[in-house]
Amino acid sequence: MSIELGHFALILAFAIALVSAIGGLLLWRRGERLALVLGHASILQFVLVAVAFLAVVQAFVASDFSLALAANHSHSLKPLIFKISGVWGNHEGSMLLWVLILVLFGALVATFGRRLPSDLTNLVLGTQSLLVAAFAGFTLLTSNPFERLSPAPLEGADLNPVLQDIGLAIHPPLLYAGYVGFSICFSFAIAALVSGRIDQAWARWVRPWTMLSWTFLTLGIAMGSYWAYYELGWGGWWFWDPVENSSFMPWLAGTALLHSALVMEKRNALKIWTIFLSIITFSLSLLGTFLVRSGILTSVHTFASDPTRGLVILTILAVLIGGAFLLFAIRSPSLRQGGLFAPISREGALILNNLFLATAVGAVLVGTLYPLLLDALTGTTISVGAPFFNFTFGALMAPLLLVLPFGPLLAWKRADLVAAGQRLMGFAALSVFLAILISALGGTSISMVPIGLLLGFWVSFGAIAEVIERSRLGRIPLGESLRRLRGLPRSIWSTALGHFGMGLTVLGIVTVSAWETELVTTLNPGETAELSGYLVAFDSFEQQPGANYVADTGVFTVTDPGGETATLLAERRTYVASGMPTTEAAIQTYGLSQLYLQLGEPLENTHVIRVWHKPYILLIWIGALVMAGAGALSLTDRRLRVGIPQRARKATAEAAQ
């Protein structure tokens, strides 16, 4: 019964969204009253989709296998958390989650955007409803999660074992919140193009939404990377796989948007470019969600796809993205550019940032789509692998990281590069010293390593430069400096923190790539092996039953160079329902480094093990967490709270009369 209720709720949400879209986009001049109606409609859409979503969750939790989706992807033996996360561990359910987050953002705009001018509200909510209608319609017509089975099977077919992990509970919701959040920027861009209202206030409204989505996307990508690292058992954390690339491109574009919206907000410049980036970022999000889903690109990360849906998806994408760019082409020439500046200035630095980020998006896009194009045009099958991406992406990021520390130290409009350089001199010297020292100590055969280290330290230290500069540390009494630090605007702190996180990630990537060690060997219980000073002893091999699997467990004792011992359990699980095997690698953390141990399939009582030592690998994800923290910090900044500047302005205007 609840299933049909959920189905009906989704249909109703689709209908309301369709009406809202038509109303909002055609009658946007009607003012406050329409805005009120659209606001209520947006909240109603959210409530209805939430009902639909909960209906499916309920069926999964109660193991109601008359629901085809639950029968295909769930199992009564599964732990509760995996029953719930199993809802979005498949195409239909993940579409429903996607739509749920889409309507959630619409409802958020309706709730927090009451101070927006009504024509902007109407257009934004109208566009948002159009997206809801398109994707709710797609879900209902081609990937309906509410289909019933009769007779209902007694037991479900179980979820893919690789997905039975806490990662599935966290990663997709975060990633989708990031992807879908950019729909708000897209809707604002459309609203700006239609209404012609594009000014500093517009940028002030858009920036918090960009920041929020970017923060989620950063967390989502980092989480996905760590999940793939520990679950797939290949020891890698980034494969330049099409799925990874398509989540990375919106992140790059979103990062660019974050910076260009800053220029627009502060200096009323780069308007057309910012609008363009808003459209691009969401288009890349759509591409990220659906290109892989359409079955056109193959990937190691996605669930099996049904190619018949591909055409529908591509049509929706073409209409939405094509329509947005058509509108952009028609309307953008009428937008006025403002705010002149010298090439060397904060604006100039941010343009450079955007240039490199946008070019990097282009390079990744080419690498991802080129095999597809070549296959379609000539029939030759090729793959563009990690070497291509490492080469082009690295070459584009190096200059960006090199100039990054200068950016925050340059003044708006016209800046003094020499003065900024002088302030950074000490940090530059320190970075060079550390890079040389570590390269010498670590002994390196790759010539790029010192450069990478240098960039990592340079960005990390440079990020703190502005904070130190503002606190006048060392030049005035310490207490006074600390007081100044506390008084710094949160935007300064979040810039410093965000850039510092970037530096940490770079350092992690460089150290792991340069000094990772690996050992593949035959090892039987009672024998030991050694890797990078770590002694790995194979104690025993046993079979144990788990909740819904049987595990072959290898018990290892690892002695680190300091003499401490730790017990590691590496497993090979065979899942009861599907008979599918998975590898559960054992990972032991030493400070920021990790030892990663994988057990091979046993053959006549011989075992193959594979051990990696990954120095400072945790820096990669810690850096991403710091970046996300910087995003969250920035969201708490007074300056970004929508409405406050307006209220203040209104108050002064009243006082003046």
Contacts of 548 (CB under 8 A, 6+ apart): 75, 77, 78, 158, 164, 575, 576, 577
Nearer to other proteins, 203 or 609 (CB): 609
Angle between helical axes of 32-61 and 118-142 (0-180°, round to 10): 30
Contact 525, 552 (CB under 8 A): no
Phi and psi for 609 in degrees, rounded to 5?
-120, 155
Question: Could you give the CA distance from residue 255 to residue 358 in angstroms, rounded to a whole number?
Answer: 10
SS3 292: coil
Least distance from C-beta 572 to other proteins, angstroms?
Answer: 8
Which residue type is seen at 556?
F
Q: How far is the CB of 182 from other proteins (least distance, A)?
A: 24
CB of 108 to other proteins, least distance (A): 35
**CB-nearer residue toward other proteins: 360 or 627:** 360
Rg of the chain over all Cα atoms, to the nearest angstrom = 27
Contact 300, 236 (CB under 8 A): no
Q: What are phi and psi of 262, to 5 degrees?
A: -65, -45
Beta bridge partners of 535: 530, 559
Q: How far is the CB of 130 from other proteins (least distance, A)?
A: 33
Quick one: 160 or 494, whose CB is closer to other proteins?
A: 160
Classify 16 as helix, strand or coil. helix
Nearer to other proteins, 105 or 237 (CB): 237
Choice between 100 and 536, CB closer to other proteins: 536
The DSSP annotation for 172-210 comes to HHHHHHHHHHHHHHHHHHHHHHHH---SHHHHHHHHHHH
Distance in angstroms (rounded) separating the CA atoms of residues 247 and 251: 7
SS3 595: strand
Q: Where are the beta strands (DSSP E) in 418-562?
A: 517-522, 528-531, 534-545, 549-559
Q: Which residues, 6 or more positions from 560, have their beta carbon under 8 angstroms from its beta carbon?
A: 533, 534, 566, 590
Backbone angles phi, psi at 113, to 5 degrees: -100, 25
In whole angstroms, how close is the CB of 518 to other proteins at the nearest point?
9
CB of 81 to other proteins, least distance (A): 20
- Please choose, from the candidates 535, 539, 532, 536, the residue with its C-alpha nearest in 3D space to the C-alpha of residue 518: 532
52 vs 609, beta carbon nearer other proteins = 609
Report the residue number, 337 or 565, with the smaller CB distance to other proteins. 337
Angle 200-231/271-290 helices, nearest 10 degrees?
A: 30
**Cα–Cα distance for residue pair 126/183, rounded to 1 Å:** 12
In sequence order, the β-bridge partners of residue 284 are none
What's the min distance (Å) between Cβ of 436 and other proteins?
Answer: 25
Of 230 and 303, CB closest to other proteins? 303
Q: Taking the complex as a whole, how short is the minimal distance between the CB of residue 307 and other proteins, in angstroms? A: 10
Nearest to 537 by CA among 524, 551, 547: 524
- Are 292 and 368 within 8 A, CB to CB? no
Residue 612 CB, nearest distance to other proteins (Å)? 12
Of 301 and 484, which has the nearer Cβ to other proteins? 301
Which residue, 59 or 599, has its beta carbon nearer to other proteins?
599
Q: How far is the CB of 18 from other proteins (least distance, A)?
A: 36
By the criterion CB under 8 A, which residues form the site for other proteins?
160, 162, 232-233, 298, 300, 303-304, 340-344, 348, 351-352, 355-356, 359, 362-363, 366-367, 370-371, 380-385, 387-388, 391-392, 395-396, 414-417, 520-522, 572, 578-583, 598, 600-601, 603, 606, 608-610
Q: Pick between residue 88 and residue 575 the one whose CB is nearest to other proteins.
A: 575
Helix pair angle (32-61, 91-112), 10° resolution: 150
Which stretch of DSSP H or E encloses residue 223? Answer: helix 200-231
C-alpha–C-alpha distance, residues 67 and 419, integer Å: 67
Q: CB of 562: closest distance to other proteins in angstroms?
A: 29
Those residues whose C-beta lies under 8 Å from the C-beta of residue 193, and which sit 6 or more positions away, are 275, 327, 328, 331, 332
Nearest to other proteins of 416, 480 (CB atom):
416
Nearest approach, Cβ of residue 355 and other proteins (Å): 6
Smaller CB distance to other proteins: residue 204 or 610?
A: 610
Smaller CB distance to other proteins: residue 32 or 416?
Answer: 416
Q: Sign of the CA dihedral 610, 623, 288, 13? A: positive
Q: How far is the CB of 639 from other proteins (least distance, A)?
A: 28
Residue 400 C-beta: closest distance to other proteins, Å: 10
